[in-house]
Structure 1
């Protein structure tokens, strides 16, 4: 998954696991997440609600179910990324791990799982 800030924010992309660009949430609270191929790009709120999508002609040729799964997986990745960023910020302010867990904020392992799920969904349902 390639993830970058909204165009109104800095365009820095951090390198993540296995060459995948680590999600970065922009100052406006939006996270843009793209499939590895770039065929599907979704911009989401911190809650994972999509506010903008771009689909390539290749993405449109996929089955509707497969495309929907990929979009949902990318939204989940954006939500997890934003939650992990909030967790990191709160941790930096001295909030304990126990308190962070009670808040339901995702862990780094959950981000890795969301990246894997988005990759897996991108490989299903090609026509």
Structure 2
């Protein structure tokens, strides 16, 4: 991340966990909180030529995916700490099946192919 991105991650708050995520091509990289709130964003210049609505939708999907993965990690952490299955169910944190299902649906519902295979070097 850039210096501004690092400052944004610090601005998320002391002790807040953040998750790094990128699109499959690495042209959009983000750091988001466990709730999916972006605190640092890096977008390649080529991505800025896309339709803004599509770019925003992809960034939102990345935030949602990162939040789901962070929730799963938190669930595993609580499970390892000895929380009961009933307690875990009440947290509302996603299971591995929930995250996998969300990612499969996302891949089927959204066109994630690049606009062009050409990249600036």
TM-score, normalisation: structure 2:
0.71
Q: Distance in 1 between matches of 2:30 and 2:102?
A: 14
Count of residues in Structure 1 that have an aligned counterpart in Structure 2 = 102
User: Residues 101 and 82 (structure 1 numbering): CA distance in 2 closer, same or farther, change over 3 Å?
Assistant: same
User: Residues 115 and 46 (structure 1 numbering): CA distance in 2 closer, same or farther, change over 3 Å?
Assistant: same
Does the 8 Å contact 2:16/2:33 carry over to 1? no
Q: Distance in 2 between matches of 1:71 and 1:39?
A: 11
Residue 45 of structure 2 is matched in structure 1 by: 57
Calculate the aligned-residue CA RMSD, in Å: 2.6
Q: Structure 2 regions of 5+ residues with no counterpart?
A: 1-5, 7-14, 117-121
Q: Tell me the alpha carbon deviations over residues 45-87 of structure 1, each in whole angstroms, 9 at most, x when there is no partner.
A: 1111000100012211211111111101110111111111110
Residue 34 of structure 2 is matched in structure 1 by: 46
Does the 8 Å contact 1:35/1:122 carry over to 2? no
TM-score, normalisation: structure 1:
0.68
Larger radius of gyration: 2
Q: Structure 1 regions of 5+ residues with no counterpart?
A: 1-6, 8-26
Q: Counterparts in 2 of 1:1-127, with a 5 A limit?
A: 29-116=17-104, 117=106, 121=110, 123=112, 126=115
Structure holding more strand per residue: 1
Q: Tell me the alpha carbon deviations over residues 3-39 of structure 1, each in whole angstroms, 9 at most, x when there is no partner.
A: xxxx8xxxxxxxxxxxxxxxxxxx8611110001001
